[in-house]
Every structure is written in C-alpha cells, then in structure tokens.
C-alpha cells in the first residue's frame, strides 16, 4: 500500500518504520523530526499525501490537525483514507472527518494507547471512530502498528474513548500515589501494601502494571527515576481534553476536574514537567495534609 505519514515524532517515527518493515511504501513529513530509515522524505505535507491510499497523521493538537487537513485533503484521491492517530479534541476530529468525507475520502480518528514502547514494538491499542468502510480500509495497518483495534462508532468516538480512558488513568494514578504516601506515614511497608492491594479490591492498572513505587511490582518508570513512559505533560493534555469534552456535553466529572487541577499544579508550578505521570508519588510523599 502507498502511505503518507505526517508527524514523525516519538510516536509517529516507530509507527512509520513498522509500516515500512511490513513492506508498505511510506512517504513521510515532519517539520523538525528526521524520517526513519526506509521512509521517503516529502518536501511538505501535501507531497506526502499525493497518490497515497492512506494518509496517517500523528499531530500534537486539534489546531494543527485542522491546518494539516486543509493542506492534504485536496491532494488525496477519492476513496483514499485519512487516518488520524493524534489525540485531539472530539470536535476537531468530527469537523476534519466531515470535510474529508465531503471530498470523497474515508476518515478514521484512531488515537492510541501504549506509549513509545508500544509504538516501537507494534503493540499499540487503537480506539477508532468512523464508518465501517473507513475502519475496514485501515484495519490492515492497525494489525501492523498495534495488537488491538476497537471500532468505537462514528467519527469522534475514537477520541471520546481515549479521553475517557485517560481520565480514569489519571484519577486512579493519583489515588494509587496518595495511598502509598499514606501507607508510608502509617508505617506500612510498600511491598506489603502492593501484595495486599494488587490482589484485593484496590487492584488497578496503575497499581498492578505501572506501580509508582520504585522497587515494587513489575518494572515501571518509577524504577528509572521516573523517566517518562507516559509524561505528566501528556496526562495533563488528555485530562484537559476530558474536561473540555465534559463541559461541552454537560457531564459532571468532579474527580476528572480534581485530577486535571492536580496535574496542572504538578507540571506547571512544581517539578513535574518532563517526568512520568507516576512521579506524583514523591510529590505526595513530600507534602502534608492541607
């Protein structure tokens, strides 16, 4: 398949490389990042999209997605698919899909879960929104770049699934870090805490698979001085998207709101920028009630 790939950063570059390794012809473009080996460098986004059967985008936000869509849609042939794997606001995803469909294209919004490691290993999970035809067109690419893809419904529903998932993740990680900090002050050994909670009703992905306490549970960023697997900055971005969506949908999300405020303080006012989102643990350990 001839593929255009726009956005070759930490996530996009290994995803594009996996497509090349699977035998696809990939033309790539990024304003600053180099093309991975095997990806033909395009002079701009429009050139990357010309003649492509699928154009994959992995971009920082909805504003940039809208701008790139404006450059590439006119260059794409009817029946081609625009596959956006960025994490953006729901409305941007739906607006871009509407424009693409009006031009005779298939459109799929499919943000990912799995981080940089999952992108490199080809084990990402894709949450896809769009038509059945659009999903079927890009499904073979999901099989290469990931281990699972769920068709969540019409355009925008992929983004909706991503921000709801990550709102849960942000809330549960804060709760996990708070509990470890409390356990410390009550004199409860962290390993004993893990042994109990990981097999009891406090079980969660944040505890069992990504434990924020160094030396406890499986290997996680906590064991590497909180070098990001998933950066606190990105968690803040996703939580802000969740609250933007909650406001638009008139949904009551008090814990999502509180998690957003905590990560905002952690990233913008404390020392959380550039650290893993689980670095909330030392933050809570060093603080007192109130």
Q: pLDDT of 81-115, one tens digit each? A: 999 999 999 999 999 999 999 999 999 999 999 88
Q: How many CB atoms lie under 10 A from the CB of residue 15?
A: 26
Question: What pLDDT is attached to residue 289?
Answer: 84
**Nearest C-alpha neighbor of 163 from the set 236, 265, 67:** 236
Strands 124-130 and 106-109: antiparallel
Q: pLDDT averaged over the chain?
A: 97
In the three-class reduction of DSSP (H, G, I as helix; E, B as strand; rest coil), residue 54 is classed as strand
Q: Partners of 112 in the beta sheet? A: 126
Question: What pLDDT is attached to residue 31?
Answer: 95
Please provide the DSSP assignment of 173-225 as one string: HHHHHHHHHHHHHTT--HHHHHHHHTTSTT--HHHHTS-SSTTSSS--GGGGT
Q: Where are the alpha helices (DSSP H) in 122-156?
A: 132-145
> Is the pLDDT at 116 greater than 90, yes or no?
no
Rounded distance between C-alpha atoms, residue 74 and residue 161, angstroms:
29
User: Structure pTM?
Assistant: 0.91
Q: What's the pLDDT tens digit per position in 249-285? A: 999 999 999 999 999 999 999 999 999 999 999 999 9
Question: What pLDDT is attached to residue 220?
Answer: 96
Give kind and range of the element (H or E) at residue 83: strand 81-84
Between residues 76 and 290, the one the model is more confident about? 76
Question: What pLDDT is attached to residue 202?
Answer: 96
Is residue 254 classed exposed, middle or buried when 0-12, 13-18 and 19+ CB atoms within 10 A define those classes? Answer: exposed
Catalytic residue among 162, 192, 237, 275: 162
Contact indicator for 159, 111 with CB cutoff of 8 Å: yes
Rounded distance between C-alpha atoms, residue 278 and residue 216, angstroms:
13
Q: What's the pLDDT tens digit per position in 34-45? A: 999 999 999 999
Whether 41 is catalytic is no
Give kind and range of the element (H or E) at residue 248: helix 232-249
In the three-class reduction of DSSP (H, G, I as helix; E, B as strand; rest coil), residue 87 is classed as coil
As a residue count, the chain comes to 290
In the three-class reduction of DSSP (H, G, I as helix; E, B as strand; rest coil), residue 3 is classed as strand
Task: Dig out the tokens for 184 from the structure.
Answer: 């410390």
Q: What's the pLDDT tens digit per position in 155-210? A: 999 999 999 999 999 999 999 999 999 999 999 999 999 999 999 999 999 999 99
**Nearest C-alpha neighbor of 238 from the set 168, 134, 149, 174:** 168
Question: What pLDDT is attached to residue 132?
Answer: 97
| Rounded average pLDDT over 56-61 | 97
């Amino acid at each position: 398949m001839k593929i255009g790939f726009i956005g070759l950063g930490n996530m996009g570059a290994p995803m594009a490389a996996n497509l090349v390794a699977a035998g696809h012809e990939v033309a790539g473009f990024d304003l600053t990042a180099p093309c991975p080996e095997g990806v033909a460098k395009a002079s701009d986004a429009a050139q990357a999209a010309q003649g492509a059967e699928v154009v994959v985008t992995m971009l920082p936000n909805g504003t940039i997605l809208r701008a790139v869509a404006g450059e590439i849609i006119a260059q794409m042939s009817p029946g081609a698919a625009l596959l956006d794997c960025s994490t953006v606001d729901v409305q941007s995803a739906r607006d871009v899909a509407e424009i693409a469909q009006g031009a005779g294209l298939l459109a799929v919004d499919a943000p990912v879960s799995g981080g940089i490691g999952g992108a490199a290993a080809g084990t990402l999970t894709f949450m896809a929104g769009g038509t059945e035809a659009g999903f079927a067109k890009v499904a073979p690419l999901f099989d290469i770049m990931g281990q699972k893809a769920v068709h969540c419904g019409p355009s925008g529903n992929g983004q909706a699934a991503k921000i709801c998932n990550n709102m849960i993740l942000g809330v549960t990680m804060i709760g996990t870090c708070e509990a470890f900090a409390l356990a410390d002050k009550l004199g409860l050994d962290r390993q004993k805490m893990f042994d109990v909670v990981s097999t009891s009703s406090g079980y969660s992905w944040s505890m069992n698979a990504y434990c924020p306490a160094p030396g406890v549970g499986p290997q996680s960023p906590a064991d590497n001085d909180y070098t990001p697997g998933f950066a606190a900055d990105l968690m803040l971005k996703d939580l802000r998207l969740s609250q933007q969506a909650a406001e638009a949908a008139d949904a009551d999300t008090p814990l999502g709101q509180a998690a957003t405020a905590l990560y905002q303080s952690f990233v913008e006012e404390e020392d959380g920028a550039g650290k893993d989102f689980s670095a909330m643990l030392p933050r809570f350990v060093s603080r007192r009630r109130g």
